[in-house]
A and B are shown apart, each in its own frame.
Chain A
Amino acid sequence: MISTFTTSESLAAARAANRRAAVAGRTVIFRIKRCDGPGKPSRWEDFKVPVPVGANVISCLQYIAANPVTADGKPTTPVVWDSGCLEEVCGACTMLVGGRVRQSCSALIDDYAPAEGDVITLEPMSKFPVIRDLWVDRERLFHNLKRVKAWVPIDGTYHLGAGPTESPDQQGTRYKLSECMSCGCCLEACPQFNLEEKPDMWDTSFIGPHAISQARLFNMHGTGKVLADERLDALMGMGGVSECGNAQNCVKVCPKHIPLTESIAAMGRATTIHGFKRFFRG
């Protein structure tokens, strides 16, 4: 059994062992948590899916969409889910696979259900409102990027020459942070980030590791840092960086291995210094 927040090394080992043991031509059971819409009750439905070589959760959901019949032979509605690139770069298809949050496109069936009749559970993320079945509304995640002004304030699209030069090292650090695809894995795993359906509460609720890391990204940029003080003000307010409980789950579930805890620590230090400066400036 793969526990929820084990290290990526032990996870990889468990999955590799499953992959080696995978039986060709098997059928597995998808146990899917379903919900018809906001305010509607949830229920579990099982589906039997034949597994071809190289199958992933998405190809099995596509099979269910074309064959919406439960394991005990009852016709049902096709399962609804969110997906896009299927290459783990758009972030859309994030859900709980076997109890752990990840992109379902890169979840290979061999890693989870190597034997005939093995069960894979699929659930929607719990920190965002469910739209239907496995599809959730992650608007709050994008909203929080506005709180930290996650952009470079350029003077328009006119031809004004190149941007600031930077060292390969700094580029490497920024590129890593900029690979964040707003998938929400870190928020699902974070004990400080909770479901909040009321948009007027978003600005005072915990902003989340992804947005803190984006504040660091833009504060590092030669032009982006012109808004550094405003970003730090946002991170010092209600729902800011001080509400991080240091559980460090975020960095364990990040599919792009973004150093989120480093970003949180860096922004924590920066807000402290910023606070002193503000105090002495009056």
Chain B
Amino acid sequence: MAQHRVIVVGGGLAGLSASVRIAEAGLPVDLFSMVPVKRSHSVCAQGGINACNEVARQQGYSEYMHFDETVYGGDFLADQPPIYEMCHWAPRIIDLLDRMGVPFNRTLEGMRDLRLFGGSLFKRTHFAGASTGQQLLYALDEQTRRYESEGKVTKYEFWEFLWPIIEDGRAVGIVAQDMRTMQIRAFRADAVVMATGGNGLIFGKSTNSVICTGGAASRCYQAGVDYGNGEFIQVHPTSIPGADKLRLMSESARGEGGRVWVPRKKGETRAAKDIPEAERWYFLEEKYPKYGNLVPRDIATREIFQVCMDGYGVAGQNQVYLDLTHKDEAYLNNKLGAILEIYEKFVGDDPRKVPMRIFPGVHYTMGGLYTTFTPKDDGKGLVLGNPVQMMTNVRGLYAFGEVNFAYHGGNRLGANALLSCIFDGLFCGLSVANYVQDCEPGKAPAAAMAPAPFDAAVASEKAKHDRFLSTVGQGSGDKSFNAYQIGRELGEEMTAACTVVKSAQRLEQCISKLAELRGRFAKVRLSDGAIWTNQSLSYTRAVGDMLILAEVIAKGSLLRKESRGSHFRSDFPERDDANFMKTTRATYNPGSGDHTIAFQDINSSLVKPRQRSYGKVENKPAEKKEPVGV
């Protein structure tokens, strides 16, 4: 028992909750992260975390409804038992975070307050101002630091994951590189938990942090872990366009009463405040009288996109108003202060006085590493502690949080991401501990294995590394072999072809472009030959891995000849349950560098698929309307 260890890669909400849970089970944890864990991308989550609580329950809500909303919100693509378990665990997770000291907003009586969020008619979202992800991450960071000071968790910060070490079909460690000294070495472990988040950087500008390349997921995929539902990428309806990234404007802005509108007149030149109510088109409220501005993200995004394509965008540009100016300033500062400050800092306008101008931006990766589960006999939830929960098709290699493909199906509901990340860490963390103690590692710990596979994996990574370094100063300085140039073209192509509206013709064009970029990448030239803190090398390596994942996204998009959730095909606008209510499962062929993509049945034993309209009505040029009450 003493010689067993577990590696967790990634220090966001999923990685930290896994570390805490596994350490609590008595196993030493080695935690790897490219950044100090407190700076992980989870800090960017703003709006909140969903769970049924007593107030919601007495208003008619339940864990079952949370489950049903999540399945319906995801357009019936996800396996249902894991969602059932997650939604029933959610209230416990809130209680635990509360005990850890998360400063959740409070009612006058001192209870945790709730706000409204997309895809629900009930208030069931817990929040800490408008930086909930930051506050949850800090609470888990603090608990991890406590375990670190007790010697139960060892942090490897500024270490980059390079490759999983797989021996006889079983994960036995990883290869990682110190981003400062550039040392490459193997670390042994009896189980490896990948908790490395999404891949927004594949789309160039997104709401993601600069570390969210999907590189780690791609490396696992190339090493034999299958990839599920790659084509499902969430484009958030409200982001702030910027020169370096798209900054998120939380759904909580709409949850707290924000209204989306454009001038009814194309080419309107008046300032927003000078446009009378009757001349404003609150198109989401008109089209979706029941949910209004809080329809799920895929739907809001398509509507905003279409309004702009039809020429109604503010000032003729790709932007619409998100308006909070009718709300009281003190109320806004209390509930949304952090995000209003972000807008003010980067745009220069005060959103308490002037409507914000926003446009959709790539935000969340629903697809991810393929994971397995064992349901309870009646399908209602998962068996606690069973070793396979969120284990990939490689034994002992787990995927937790955004990097897996579970829970969110074709579209994630707002404030369900924080929940799924922490749920994975806590619920499936026990599975990891049980796997290490009861399965293969119990008889053959990684620490006792011969060194050959570890040495071979390190040699292979060093060879790749040295090949990159050997390109410094070669060639004519032609821009087309510059990794930053290839990365930019990749982002532009993927945003144009694989986001809001897709079609066979455009996707085929995208796939040829990706082949061209892969060809150019084979001859990539580095501009920095340093053997100390070489960031260009790290980025270049990631671009190669992003190109491979981009192909999974584009090819899955082409093969899925239907529209479901975030995946909208203009040439196949209807959902096709008979052929495509299935997981897209991609397998990498290391010899050819190509992908085998199959569609696999899902477990939909609990809820029958139904039409997903959110009560849409035909859009007529309506008179002035009051905001829809909920």
Q: Report which A residues bind B (CB closer than 8 A).
A: 19, 36-37, 52-56, 58-59, 62, 65-66, 68, 75, 77-78, 80, 83-92, 105-106, 108, 131-132, 135, 137-138, 142, 145-146, 149-154, 156-157, 159-163, 165-168, 171-172, 174-175, 178-179, 181-182, 218, 221, 223-224
Contacts and interface: CB of A to CB of B under 8 A. Distances in A.
B41 A85 contact: yes
A192 to B, nearest CB: 24
A171 B105 contact: yes
A89 B242 contact: no
Given A54-B243, A150-B145, A175-B135, A86 B209 contact: yes
A146 to B, nearest CB: 5
A181 B141 CA distance: 12
Interface stretch (B63-71, B187-195, B531-539): B531-539
B21 A157 contact: yes
Given A84-B35, A178-B103, A163 B532 contact: no
A77 B530 contact: yes
Contacts of A218: 101
B587 to A, nearest CB: 33
B247 interface: yes
Contacts of B211: 84
A83 B334 contact: no
Contacts of B529: 77
Contacts, number: 193
A166 B110 contact: yes
B145 A142 contact: yes
Interface pairs A-B: 8 shortest CB-CB? A66-B484, A165-B110, A163-B98, A151-B142, A59-B244, A132-B533, A59-B243, A163-B99
Given A68-B528, A80-B533, A84-B209, A175 B129 contact: yes
Interface string B295-321: 000000000000000000000000000
Contacts of B266: none
A90 B43 contact: yes
B110 A151 contact: no
Given A132-B530, A162-B98, 19 more contacts: A55-B243, A65-B536, A77-B529, A78-B527, A84-B211, A87-B44, A91-B39, A142-B38, A152-B100, A154-B99, A156-B24, A157-B20, A157-B426, A163-B95, A163-B100, A163-B101, A168-B106, A178-B135, A181-B43
A218 B36 CA distance: 21
A154 B101 CA distance: 9
Interface stretch (B117-125, B275-283, B338-346): B338-346
Contact of A87 (B21, B135, B342): B342
A66 B479 CA distance: 9
A80 B528 CA distance: 10
30 contacts: A37-B533, A54-B243, A56-B243, A59-B244, A62-B244, A62-B484, A75-B527, A78-B528, A78-B535, A78-B536, A80-B535, A85-B39, A89-B338, A92-B36, A132-B533, A149-B146, A151-B101, A151-B145, A156-B24, A157-B20, A161-B95, A165-B109, A166-B106, A167-B106, A167-B110, A171-B105, A175-B129, A179-B134, A181-B38, A182-B38
Given A68-B527, A106-B346, A171-B103, A181 B244 contact: no
A107 B334 CA distance: 25
B110 A88 contact: no
B92 interface: yes
B149 interface: yes
Contacts of B589: none
B423 to A, nearest CB: 12
Contacts of B9: none
Interface string B199-243: 000000000011100000000000000000000000000000111
A264 to B, nearest CB: 21
Nearest to A183: B39
B417 interface: no
Nearest to A79: B535
Contacts of B105: 168, 171, 175
Contacts of A75: 527
B203 to A, nearest CB: 15
A179 B243 contact: no
A83 B40 CA distance: 11
B404 interface: no
B482 interface: yes
Interface string B571-582: 000000000000
Nearest to A179: B131
A162 B99 contact: yes
B44 A85 contact: yes
Contact of A84 (B24, B210, B485, B536): B210
A108 B347 CA distance: 10
A184 to B, nearest CB: 11
Given A52-B243, A89-B131, A175 B103 contact: yes
A86 B244 contact: yes
Interface string B109-147: 111100000000000000011010011001100110110
Contacts of B143: 151, 154
A159 B95 contact: yes
Contacts of B60: none
Nearest to A16: B348
B553 interface: no
A150 B346 CA distance: 32
A89 B133 CA distance: 10
B454 interface: no
A236 to B, nearest CB: 20
Contact of A152 (B92, B99, B108, B348): B99
Given A86-B247, A132-B532, A172 B334 contact: yes
